[in-house]
């Protein structure tokens, strides 16, 4: 009798686990946490708060999981991506990592063009997920990778499905459909300022549009490197770069130029004061969010922290 009860309990436990378990790691994309920044914001007016959306909690460790999944699923649904095609794109690292792990789950080969000077951690992660990586001229940055990826595609278009993150509308659509609604829900609709650094522009364009539809008074603020020569890996200085087709500056309320060293310092402060190990782009976003918060008497500022800092441990960001 006791044995039967134990068996019944075990079966109920298995069914409960099945109802709460995810079908695959893909189902873990999104629903990232929002956390208040406390020590770094000391001294701000009582009615001003700054929150960080921690995109490093995505399975691939960055906000780019959202866009990559959106682009891949759209390509599948339209028949552009089939298992006899190879996923191809240029990337500074995070989108490539997202393509690589999602490709591994779905059974696609992935080929990526990456600037040769991206962090060693990113190179090793791409290799771990089985992606084939072609390195472009490091002096040409992300623009050089873009040009080389298009050259590869044009020479053999039947082989590849080029997802083209810089011009693919499904990149910002991922943030319109998911990132923005999450922020609205997590802040109880109280957000007044949205801050995001720009690489492809997908995060700020998609999230910003949805936030403006919710409340046209929400300020949408982009953060870019202060100059063309910078150390903020993954970010674009738009005036000196190939401008992504999905990026529309006229939709922004303002743009903040972030200096490299101050962004590095902020990333280190986030680790040592808030317990958040993040990358330099998150440091730039936090630096800009704090500068904005200092001008307010009342407000809720939300900054996107695009990824974790463990991909940059071998870089100058974490030198003693």
Contact between residue 251 and residue 209 where contact means Cβ atoms under 8 Å apart:
yes
What residues contact residue 200 under an 8 Å CB cut-off, 6+ apart? 67, 95, 165, 166, 171, 236, 244, 246, 247
**Residue range 29-54: average pLDDT?**
98
Q: Catalytic residue, from 64, 123, 162, 236: name it.
A: 64
Please indicate, yes or no, whether residues 147 and 42 belong to a single structural domain of this protein. Answer: no
Report the distance separating Cα 270 and Cα 306, nearest Å: 14
Domain contains 1: no
Give 83's pLDDT tier (boundaries 50, 70, 90).
very high
- What pLDDT, on a 0 to 100 scale, did the predictor assign at position 186? 98
Report the distance separating Cα 256 and Cα 235, nearest Å: 13
92 labelled catalytic: no
Specify the DSSP element, H or E, that contains 304: strand 299-305
Domain contains 20: no
User: What CATH number is attached to the domain comprising 81?
Assistant: 3.40.50.1100
Domain contains 186: yes
Please indicate, yes or no, whether residues 186 and 211 belong to a single structural domain of this protein. Answer: yes
Tell me the residue range of the domain where 201 lies. 25-61+175-318
Report the distance separating Cα 297 and Cα 45, nearest Å: 6
Please indicate, yes or no, whether residues 73 and 55 belong to a single structural domain of this protein. Answer: no
- What pLDDT, on a 0 to 100 scale, did the predictor assign at position 10? 55
Distances in Å between the Cα of 262 and the Cα atoms of 231, 236, 269, 286, 291 are 11, 17, 10, 10, 12
**Residue range 167-194: average pLDDT?**
98
Please indicate, yes or no, whether residues 184 and 128 belong to a single structural domain of this protein. Answer: no
- What pLDDT, on a 0 to 100 scale, did the predictor assign at position 178? 98
Q: What is the pLDDT of residues 3-20, one digit of tens each?
A: 666 556 556 655 555 567
* Rg for the chain, CA atoms, rounded: 21
Domain contains 156: yes
| Structural domain ending residue among the three candidates 162, 184, 212 | 162
DSSP state of 296: -
Report the distance separating Cα 263 and Cα 268, nearest Å: 9
- What pLDDT, on a 0 to 100 scale, did the predictor assign at position 71? 98
- Tokens at residue 312, please? 């940059």
Please indicate, yes or no, whether residues 194 and 246 belong to a single structural domain of this protein. Answer: yes
Please indicate, yes or no, whether residues 287 and 306 belong to a single structural domain of this protein. Answer: yes
Domain contains 228: yes
Please indicate, yes or no, whether residues 158 and 222 belong to a single structural domain of this protein. Answer: no
Please indicate, yes or no, whether residues 151 and 205 belong to a single structural domain of this protein. Answer: no
Judged against a pLDDT cut of 90, whether residue 320 lies above it is answered with no
DSSP 227-287: SSS---TT---GGGSPPPTT--GGG-SEEEEEPHHHHHHHHHHHHHHH---B-HHHHHHHH
Please indicate, yes or no, whether residues 280 and 204 belong to a single structural domain of this protein. Answer: yes
Distances in Å between the Cα of 317 and the Cα atoms of 50, 66, 204, 248, 263 are 23, 26, 24, 30, 9
Secondary structure of 72-140 in the HEC alphabet? HHHHHHHCCCCCCCEEEEECCCHHHHHHHHHHHHHCCEEEEEEECCCCHHHHHHHHHCCCEEEEECHHH
Strand partners, 255: 222
- What pLDDT, on a 0 to 100 scale, did the predictor assign at position 208? 98
- What pLDDT, on a 0 to 100 scale, did the predictor assign at position 141? 86
Please indicate, yes or no, whether residues 180 and 54 belong to a single structural domain of this protein. Answer: yes
Give 227's pLDDT tier (boundaries 50, 70, 90).
confident
Tokens 């240029």 label which residue? Answer: 90
Domain contains 13: no
Q: What is the pLDDT of residues 142-171, one digit of tens each?
A: 899 999 999 999 999 999 999 999 999 999
**Residue range 264-275: average pLDDT?**
98
Q: Catalytic residue, from 119, 123, 281, 311: name it.
A: 281
Please indicate, yes or no, whether residues 133 and 204 belong to a single structural domain of this protein. Answer: no
Domain contains 304: yes
pTM: 0.92
Quote the percentage of the chain above a pLDDT of 90: 83
Report the distance separating Cα 170 and Cα 205, nearest Å: 11
**Residue range 188-202: average pLDDT?**
97
Domain contains 169: no
Please indicate, yes or no, whether residues 237 and 265 belong to a single structural domain of this protein. Answer: yes
**Residue range 192-211: average pLDDT?**
97
| Structural domain ending residue among the three candidates 162, 192, 210 | 162
**Residue range 304-316: average pLDDT?**
94
| Counted domains in the chain | 2
Q: What is the pLDDT of residues 89-128, one digit of tens each?
A: 999 889 999 999 999 999 999 999 999 998 899 999 999 9
- Tokens at residue 129, please? 């997920």
Phi, psi of 231 (to 5 degrees): -115, 25
311 labelled catalytic: no
| Structural domain ending residue among the three candidates 162, 193, 223 | 162
Of 320 and 255, the one with more pLDDT: 255
């Amino acid at each position: 009798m006791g044995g039967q009860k134990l068996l019944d309990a075990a079966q109920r436990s298995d069914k409960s686990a099945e109802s709460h378990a995810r079908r695959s790691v893909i189902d873990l994309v999104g629903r990232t946490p929002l956390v208040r920044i406390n020590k770094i914001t000391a001294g701000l007016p009582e009615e001003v708060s700054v929150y960080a959306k921690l995109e490093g909690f995505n399975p691939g460790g960055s906000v780019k999981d959202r866009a990559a999944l959106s682009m891949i699923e759209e390509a599948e649904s339209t028949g552009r991506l089939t298992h006899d095609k190879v996923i191809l794109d240029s990337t500074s690292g995070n989108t490539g990592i997202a393509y690589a792990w999602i490709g591994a789950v779905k059974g696609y080969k992935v080929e990526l063009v990456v600037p040769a000077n991206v962090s060693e951690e990113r190179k090793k992660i791409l290799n771990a997920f089985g992606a084939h990586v072609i390195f472009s001229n490091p002096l040409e940055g992300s623009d050089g990778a873009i040009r080389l990826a298009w050259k590869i595609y044009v020479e053999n278009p039947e082989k590849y499905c080029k997802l083209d993150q810089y011009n693919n509308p499904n990149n910002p659509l991922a943030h319109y459909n998911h990132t923005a609604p999450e922020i609205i829900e997590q802040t109880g609709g109280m957000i007044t300022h949205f801050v995001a650094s720009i690489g492809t522009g997908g995060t700020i364009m998609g999230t910003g549009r949805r936030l403006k539809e919710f409340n046209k008074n929400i300020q949408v603020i982009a953060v870019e490197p202060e100059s063309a020569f910078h150390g903020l890996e993954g970010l674009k200085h738009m005036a000196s770069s190939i401008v992504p087709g999905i990026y529309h500056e006229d939709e922004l309320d303002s743009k903040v130029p972030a200096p490299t060293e101050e962004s590095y310092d902020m990333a280190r402060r986030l680790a040592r004061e808030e317990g958040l190990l993040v990358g330099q782009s998150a440091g730039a976003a936090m630096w800009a969010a704090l500068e904005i918060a200092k001008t307010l008497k009342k407000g809720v500022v939300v900054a996107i922290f695009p990824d974790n800092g463990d991909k940059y441990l071998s870089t100058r960001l974490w030198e003693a």
